[in-house]
């Protein structure tokens, strides 16, 4: 998966999100495509290849979201890119920043499980990173996501080394059947030792239809 064509598939656009992604009013733009195969995916449509998702180039997306520019400016909000995995669209996001300017806050909701060069491209243009770390234990992480977390740790270290620890919120979930409170405490301990400052602790609620929901603690 890549930035090919710079007209990525978008699975949804959600307006008027108030302090959901941090400060201000935001609009969520959710991209199709994800490298992970989480057992209880919160956005399974991001991997659905059977539907004809709408594609946007940067100009079209900018025209779609700029209707809320006054809200963004008044509240120090902006656009949150999620998915799926928004870092797969790093070139698109760089181009979008050129269109919208520096006044809008740009946020990424990301797993960080991508190549380092994608994060390098995004560092100059993204204001805030909301990182879904799952669990720091590599065995738990792979069992839940189907992937290794080596790239996650490398990219997290990169952000911290570049002085972006204050711009990150790291989500550490309790995932029933996959990790425990003790596992989560150990993840937080490791993350604090690395220099992470802001955490979001929550629990996945898995119902009998194998769905997931997030409950803040």
Does residue 216 register a pLDDT over 90? Answer: no
Reported as a pLDDT band with limits 50, 70 and 90, residue 207 is: low
Instruction: Give residue limits of the domains in the chain.
Output: 4-216
* CATH class, range 4-216: alpha beta
pLDDT at 5: 60
Q: What average pLDDT does the segment 179-207 reach?
A: 94
Distance in angstroms (rounded) separating the CA atoms of residues 1 and 176: 30
pLDDT at 50: 79
| Number of residues written out for the chain | 217
Burial class (CB in 10 A: 0-12, 13-18, 19+), 147: middle
Of residues 59, 55, 51, 68, the one with CA closest to residue 16: 68
Q: Are 43 and 70 in contact (CB under 8 A)?
A: no
* Sheet of strand 168-174, all strands in order from the earlier edge strand to the far edge: 54-55, 9-18, 25-31, 78-82, 105-110, 128-132, 168-174, 199-204, 214-216
Measure the CA dihedral 205/211/214/215, to 10°: -30
**Highest mean pLDDT: which range of 3-12, 20-29, 52-61:** 52-61
| % the chain with pLDDT above 90 | 83
| % the chain with pLDDT above 70 | 93
């Amino acid at each position: 998966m890549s930035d090919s064509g710079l007209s990525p598939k978008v699975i949804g656009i959600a307006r008027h999100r108030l302090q959901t992604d941090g400060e201000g009013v935001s609009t969520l733009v959710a991209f199709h495509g994800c490298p992970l195969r989480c057992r209880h995916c919160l956005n399974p449509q991001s991997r659905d290849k059977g539907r004809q998702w709408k594609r946007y180039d940067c100009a079209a997306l900018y025209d779609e979201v700029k209707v809320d520019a006054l809200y963004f400016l008044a509240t120090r909000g902006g656009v949150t890119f999620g998915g799926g995995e928004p870092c797969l669209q790093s070139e698109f996001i760089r181009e979008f920043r050129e269109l919208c300017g520096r006044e809008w806050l740009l946020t990424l909701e990301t797993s960080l499980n991508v190549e380092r060069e994608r994060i390098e491209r995004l560092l100059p243009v993204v204001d805030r990173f909301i990182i879904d770390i799952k669990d720091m234990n590599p065995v738990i992480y792979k069992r839940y996501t189907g992937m290794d977390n080596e790239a996650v740790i490398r990219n997290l270290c990169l952000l911290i080394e570049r002085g972006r620890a204050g711009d990150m919120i790291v989500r550490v979930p309790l995932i029933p059947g996959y990790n425990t409170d003790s596992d989560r405490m150990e993840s937080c301990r490791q993350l604090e030792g690395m220099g992470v400052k802001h955490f979001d602790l929550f629990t996945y609620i898995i119902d009998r239809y194998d769905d997931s929901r997030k409950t803040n603690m």
